Each structure stands twice: as C-alpha cells, then as structure tokens.
Structure 1
C-alpha cells in the first residue's frame, strides 16, 4: 500500500502543478488578450484620428478648390463685362455727333504748334482736319481722333480715339470695376 500512497501523492502533486500551470496560463492569456485589446484600441484610435485629419484636409482642399474655381468664374464674368463696357465706350466715341467730334479734335490739336507738325486723321475726319492744319499727313486706319507727328517722323503723339479709349480705360479700370461690381 505504500506504493499506492506514493502514486496518490504524485498524482495529487501533479494535479496541483497542473492546476497551478493552468491558472498561470489563463492569467498569461488574459494579460496577452488585454494588451492586444489595448494595442488594438490605440491603433483604432490613431487610425480614426488620422482618418478624421485626412477628411478635414480633404474638405479644406475641396473648399479651397471650389472657392478658387468660383473666383475664376467671377473674374471671367468681370472681364467679359469690362470688355463689353470698353466696346460700348468705343462705340459711343465712334458715333459722336459731328459737332462734338470736331470740337474734340480741335481740343486734341490745341497743345501743338501745327506748322512744324504733320497731322493724320481717320478717313471720316479727313476734310475737317485737313482744313485745320497746314500739314495734313493723310488718313490712318483709326476710328477718330488725330495722330500728330513731327515733320521728320521722330516724334509721334497718338491721339486716336482707340488709343485714348485704351489709355482712359486702363487708367480707370479699377474705378469702373468698383462701380460695376462693388
């Protein structure tokens, strides 16, 4: 019977060791699972934050792009309107009544000593301008106004309506734009 007691003692010790090992294993498994869950939660949280940041950045880029596109479209509309204003201005200058056109031409010629200058005009104004100046240079392809040139051609003053309109328009484009678009 002593052998049975030894076997039982060994079995009891073995069962105790197995139970102890199982308990340690369960604790280790629980610890590993807990750490894995914590890491998974950290990774999930980090990825969610990254995704949120990426979404916010994408929204900002899209908004910026949309605003830029809107500004471009608005600028194009402004350019078109300004071009229409410029064309209407040129049309109005082209169609000045005869008396106003002649008065304007006289005003344009006032600052010059015309005996030392050649004066060019549009075909429409040829008769009038040639009657005013001693040295009529001929006609140019302009809608109106005059071009005054030194006899040797070294100095030229372009007072054609196109040039005057362009200069006035360029000088006043900000004011015109402000009036039209606020």
Structure 2
C-alpha cells in the first residue's frame, strides 16, 4: 500500500469523524436551542401572567381608590347640605318674633327651678337683641300678666346665642344653659338620622 493511499484513508476517516462530530454538535445545538426556546416561551408566558396580574392589581387599586374618593365626596356633600340646613334652621330660630316672650319666659322659669333664691343674687344672660325682653320679664312688665317672680334675678349681660337664657349664681357655683341653641342641639341630634333619610332618601 502506497503512502498516498494511507494518507488518503486517514483523510477520509478524519472527514467521516469530523462529519460525525459536526452532526452530533448540530444535534446538540438544535436540542439546546429548542430547550432555550421552550424556556424563553415559558419565561415570556410567565412575564405576561405577571404583567396581567400587576395590571389587574393596579386596576383594582385604582377602582378601589376611586370608589373611596367618590364615597368621601358624597359624605362631604351630605355634610355641607346638612350644615346648610342647620344654618337655615338657626336663622329661622334667631328671627322668631311670635311667642318669643313666652318661649324666653318658659326657658327662664325652667332654669329658675334649679336655684335657691334665698342664698344669693342670680344673674341672667341672653342674646344682645333680647336684652330689653329679658329685662322686662325679670321686671314683670313683659305683657304676659304673670307678674314679677324674679326679685333676686338680675340681667347681667350678653351671651352669644340664638335666644333664650343662661342663668347662674353670682359665684358661678350653679349654671344652667337654657338657650335656644341648647334646645335646638338636642332636637338636632335626635332628628339627624330622620333629616338625613328625608334629604338623601336612604
């Protein structure tokens, strides 16, 4: 066998072996690429799911936040309306003229029951615009024909209120607030639910 033939055989064998190695490498490469593509697809799908979850979560948060904001705005609007109603009622109370004398005397009579007139002078306070009315009630010349029952009672000055009286002993040991405000506050608190239901049709 000649040297050329041996060399040619070795070359053929080397080529065949190289072809086998190349084929195996290509198979492995295809397998690796296929796995990588599968992994990539799974990663993409997982990322999509994560993004969708995040979008849904953000949507829920924004929706919840919008609902809460709307609820707060409704509550604020209701509070404003109730405050307007309250102010309107207070304006009507402060402008009461008919029966104002009788109402003021009734509140004063009720407050007077808390005091022992033998002990000390009793001071009466009221709304500035009601000063003359209160003085006339205390003097017994308010036109009701009841007479003077308040010898120990003295008009002592102004009190910021819608009407009615605040009565206290000279040393402030006893104090009774019988203003229109205090009566209205009790009525308002008792009626607030009913007023709300009527206004807002709950």
Pick the TM interval, shorter chain. 0.7 to 0.9
Can you give the 5+ residue segments of structure 2 that lack an aligned partner in the other structure? 139-149
Contact 2:108 2:178 (8 Å CA) reproduced: no
Can you give the 5+ residue segments of structure 1 that lack an aligned partner in the other structure? none
Match of residue 44 from structure 2: 44
Deviations 1:13-70 (Å, cap 9, x if unpaired)?
1122011111101111101101110221121112111111111111112112211221
Aligned length: 181
SS of the residue corresponding to residue 96 of structure 1 reads coil
How much has 1:167 moved relative to structure 2?
4.1
Whole-angstrom CA distance in 2 between matches of 1:166 and 1:160: 10
Q: Higher mean Cα deviation, 13-22 or 150-159?
A: 150-159
The answer to whether the aligner puts 1:90 opposite 2:104 as a matched pair is no
The 5-angstrom pairing of residues 25-44 of structure 1 reads 25-44=25-44
The Cα RMSD (Å) is 2.2
Q: Higher mean Cα deviation, 147-156 or 48-57?
A: 147-156
As a proportion of its length, which structure holds more helix?
1
How much has 1:7 moved relative to structure 2?
2.6
Whole-angstrom CA distance in 2 between matches of 1:71 and 1:90: 28
Q: TM-score, normalised by structure 2?
A: 0.78
Whole-angstrom CA distance in 1 between matches of 2:109 and 2:41: 88
Contact 1:126 1:138 (8 Å CA) reproduced: no
